[in-house]
Chain A
Amino acid sequence: MLEVLQYQFMQNALLAGLLAAIACGIVGVYVVVKKIVFISGGIAHASFGGIGLGYLLGINPVLGAMAFTVASSLGIGLVIRRTRLPEDTAIGILWAMGMALGIIFIGLAPGYAPDLFSYLFGNILTVPFFDLMLILILDMVIIALVALLYKEFLYLSFDEEFSTISGVPTEGLYLLLLCLVALTVVVLIRVVGIILVIALLTIPAALARQFTHSLKKMMLLAILAGVFFTFSGLWISYVLNLASGATIILVSGTTLFISFGINKLRRRAREHDRNTNAV
């Protein structure tokens, strides 16, 4: 089994999984505690427009996705903040229009789009070296921004009104947070694909939340969970010859449900103890 680790593609896949886990562990925690899961889903799907744009312009689709996703996250952020369009309506529109643009762009692009499927559903085993380096840089950007603005993001997520009064630049930070989501989406596209991104943005953070009430510890736990999910999902998909992205998501979701179940049983046992002691 271990000899598979000697292959370059497997080493790349593991590195991609690790880097993806770091990005989604950190940003996913904000997505979950600030309750911007639906916006993140919209941004993720809209990134397909950027993939299409990449094909059309003949550049690396991941680069196309990066520019397009950052732009669309700023756009949706401003629409939500500054207009009276209901938030979920705005997200629904962005979600579908991004994908529609992607389809049009790909249709207009000359020739055939051979690895389109891997952008939609991910293929961690075929991450090219250039994309790997891009993911590495995006990870560093995310870590640096969150380290610099840790307390500001915490305040924004916890109590936006009080933060505004205290002088936290909440609107700018909110837009920046959406950009971080956009960058994370780009990191995750190669690993699990556009359609499945939202699972890795939410499941590790939701799992971590059950074990701590410190945002920092939650991030660390979410990263560890993400590493476990991508590595074990990759291994299972290799052994059983299944699609890697989908396997990673199913491993993540199943682990989360088991963890919820165990927690619930433990709580019930504790209540039972308390009741019997009381009698």
Chain B
Amino acid sequence: MTAKELVRLENVWVYYDGIPALEAINLSIESNNFLGIIGPNGGGKTTLLKVILGLIKPNRGKITVLGMPPEQGRKYLGYISQFNLFDHDFPISVFEVVLMGRYNKSGLFHRYSEEDRKAATEALKAVEMLGYKDRQIGKLSGGEQQRVFIARALVTNPQLLLLDEPTAGIDPNMQTEFYKLLHKLKEEMAIVLVSHDISAVSIYVNEIACLNHQLFYHGSKEVSAEELEKTYRCPVQLIAHGTVPHRVLKEH
């Protein structure tokens, strides 16, 4: 299968109160990508995802999602926002949350069909959460909630999955499970994962880009110390990989 371009950003600038959050971003995401974007907090990682999703309008530059403006193309994207930002007391069940992902197929005034319900059931089965479908979402553990939100993103049948700090607040065991799941999913869709957790990301993704207002994109996941230093503006762990993933700590 030849890769096709899903998302394209050309010279994108975003300012908050006159201060640039994103500077001259050029990025192309193709259908076979599993891209990790790392960078410090406040480096514009979430902003970048929101620009792709059309939630934030850039001050300058051009974005296309499957050749369309983000507002039209975003229904082909799956999105998992930064963890734990929802109201844990909210009266909504796991099944209702997953069904939300089918809205782009049904739309205003439409009732969900048997097919929608089936898709939601399948997605819950895929993340092994079907047994929890009638539970209130806030009553689940962090890892369980995470899987429900993955199921919600999956029922949209996305061509590209965008994940914002997906492992924050999840215990290490669940994180391993989570990355295994992503490993499976990358066969079916492109994935962009945003994180400040360099070590975890570097093990699983195929390519890494560094983002600190500017994007340093390498097309592979070998990142040199100089490039990381440019991103973080301080000495950081050096990433390398062979048969066994390992890290080398550079002298501070």
Residue positions of A touching B, CB distance < 8 A = 33, 35, 148-149, 151-152, 154-155, 157-159, 161-169, 209, 212-215, 218
Partner of B53, one of A35, A148, A165, A218: A165
CA distance A33 to B104 in the complex (A): 24
B residues within 8 A CB of A33? 87, 90-91
Given A33-B90, A151-B103, A161-B81, do A213 and B136 touch, yes or no (CB 8 Å)?
Answer: yes
A sample of 23 inter-chain contacts (CB < 8 A) reads A33-B87, A35-B87, A149-B109, A152-B108, A154-B92, A158-B87, A158-B90, A158-B100, A159-B86, A161-B81, A162-B100, A165-B74, A166-B101, A167-B75, A167-B103, A167-B104, A169-B108, A212-B91, A213-B136, A213-B139, A214-B93, A215-B92, A218-B91
Distance in angstroms between the alpha carbons of A209 and B89 in the assembled complex: 9
Residues of A within 8 A of B55 (CB): 161, 164-165
For the A-B complex, the count of residue pairs with Cβ-Cβ distances under 8 Å equals 66
- In angstroms, how far is the closest chain B Cβ from the Cβ of A47? 28
For residues 139 through 195 of chain B, which have their beta carbon under 8 Å from a beta carbon of chain A?
A: 139, 152, 156
Contact code string B31-47 (vs A, CB < 8 Å = 1, else 0): 00000000000000000
Q: Which of B103, B104, B136 has the most CB of A within 10 A?
A: B103
State how many angstroms separate the Cβ of A167 from the closest Cβ of chain B: 5
- Asked if A166 and B75 sit within 8 Å, CB to CB, the answer is yes
B107 within 8 A of A: yes
Which A residue's beta carbon lies closest to that of B96?
A154
The answer to whether B103 touches A163 (Cβ under 8 A) is yes
B92: chain A residues within 8 A (beta carbon)? 154, 158, 213, 215
Interface contact B100-A163, CB-CB below 8 Å: yes
**How far in angstroms is the closest Cβ of chain B from A127?**
32
Complex: how many Å from CA A162 to CA B153?
9
- B79 interfacial contact with A, CB 8 Å: yes
User: Chain B residues with Cβ under 8 A from A155's Cβ?
Assistant: 100, 103
* Contacting pair A158 B86 (CB below 8 A): yes
- Is B210 in the interface zone, CB < 8 Å from A? no
B156/A166 in contact, CB under 8 A: yes
Q: Residues of A contacting B228 with CB < 8 Å?
A: none
